[in-house]
Structure formats: structure tokens, C-alpha cells
Amino acid sequence: MDGPPDAPALVLSNSLGSTLAIWDRLLPELARHFRVIRYDLRGHGASPVPAPPYAIEDLGTDVLELLDRIDVPRAHLCGVSIGGLVSMWIAAHAPDRVERLVLCCTSPRFPSPEAWFERAATVRAEGTEAVADAVVARWFTAGYAARHPGVVDEMRAMIASTPAVGYAACCEVVGTADLRPDLTSIRATTLVVAGADDPAVPADDVDALARGIPGTRVVVLPDAAHLAIAEQPERVTELIGDHLRATEEEG
């Protein structure tokens, strides 16, 4: 947890194969205005690796139990990729716990379920090192990768160090989760941030979020792939802050 303890709570939920460190470049500015709560998905980073299978309900309940443990009755949620799925599930199934919602580079139903199960099988057989190059190539545009090889190397190492059991089980969550029927249950005012060059989230999926969640605002970032929060941290931080602080201005 970072930021003033009496500030509005903001929960940041990570992408598949990452740790809470993916938010490092956004944290200094966000922590000026919010009580920022970062955590690792089950099976990732410093979190336990329970035996699979996992379901989206498990990942959402993990967050709600965490908030109960630290006595946070209500919070803003911001999730990227699978973290966006988790945030959507919470907003639909525990709406009284959610203030505002930010969904980054995510979909209510990710394409090609079979590919997610194939990736899970590869990771179980060969470890996360076997998929690290392919995954990080989807996270960044080619231009950014050429200009910032150090960041790309850092993120690749993060993927490769993720426990194989946790990564594979979360792959299967992405392959099975379908939150399209849940979208109309989301009451939180929502911002969707998408990357124009994101190979994992087609434009139709972004449109599905906009159509499904009433009053959603969509911002598509040019020159951004699947991990836009790392590729354009200043712009994403600005968008998150403006969206969430609108609550204070309305109040």
C-alpha cells in the first residue's frame, strides 16, 4: 500500500505473467492522490500458488477478501488484461464495493480459447521461459521495444520468473472466462483504455465493453500494444487520475 492512508482507495490488478512491479512507473503520481493497493495474482509474484484449477470467481474473491482484511469497504478498481477481467467480475458481482472502474487493454471474452489452453500446456511442460519471448512481443510495439530494450528485458524476466503452475492456471482462467453477460450489471462509471496496436484485444472487444457497460468512455492510445501502462505510463496515469478524481469534483 502506498499513498495517504485517508485518501480514496485504488486497487491495481496485474496482467498475466506480471507482478505488482508493472505499476512502478505509474505509482509516484497515483500515490499522491490515492491509497494505492497493489497485489500479486494468485500463482504470481510473492502470492501463494494454490493447486489448480482457478476460476475468475476465485481471482475476484481473492481481492474482496484482501480488502476485507485491510478494512477497505469500497475502492476504485483498475485492471490490465486478466486484471481487467478480475475488476469486471468484482464490479458486476460486488457492485457496492466499487467506486469507479478503469479497464486497460482487456476484454470481457478474450479471443481464441484454444490458444490459451495450448499456452497453458506449453508452460506446464516447459516452464514460463518457453513463452516469454512471444508474450513480451505482444506487450510492446516494435518501435518501443527498439527504443527501450531495458524495459523489455525487465518485463521478459518478470514473465520467465512467474511460477509455471500459477501462470498456466491463470491462462485457463482467461480461456474460460466470459463476462459478456455480466457487463450490464456493472454500475461503476467506467473508463476503457485500449492500445491501437494491441494484438490480444481486437477493436470489436473494446466496442463490446463500450456497448455493454452503460456510460463507458473509451480512449484508444496510438502506438501502444497490450501493456500500454508500461509503454505510455505518463498518459495512462493522467487518464486514470482524471477519471477517478472526477468523483471528488462531482462530490
Q: Does residue 45 have a pLDDT over 60? A: yes
Q: How far apart are CA 110 and CA 43, in angstroms?
A: 20
Confidence at residue 249, expressed as pLDDT on a 0 to 100 scale: 52
What pLDDT digit, counting tens, does each position of 189-246 carry? 999 999 999 999 999 999 999 999 999 999 999 999 999 999 999 999 999 999 999 8
- What is the mean pLDDT of the segment spanning 81-90? 98
pLDDT average, residue stretch 40-55: 97
pLDDT exceeds cutoff 70 at 111: yes
CB 76 within 8 A of CB 102: yes
At 248, is the pLDDT very low, low, confident or very high (cuts 50, 70, 90)? low
Which string of b and e fits 27-37 if b means at least 16 CB within 10 Å? beebbebbbbb
What pLDDT was estimated at residue 246? 84
The pLDDT tens digits of the residues spanning 157-185 come to 999 999 999 999 999 999 999 999 999 99
pLDDT at residue 145 in the model: 97
Cell match 481486437: residue?
A: 202
What pLDDT sits at residue 205? 92
* Averaged pLDDT score across all residues of the chain: 96
Q: Is the dihedral of CA 238, 148, 146, 168 positive or negative?
A: negative
Percent of all residues in the chain with a pLDDT value above 90, rounded to a whole number: 97
pTM over 0.85: yes
What domains can you pick out in the chain, each with its CATH number?
A: 9-250 (3.40.50.1820)
* Nearest to 221, CA basis, from 114, 105, 111, 128: 105
User: In angstroms, what CA-CA distances link 120 with 36, 50, 59, 154, 166?
Assistant: 31, 16, 17, 22, 10
> Could you tell me the pLDDT band of residue 251, with boundaries at 50, 70 and 90?
very low
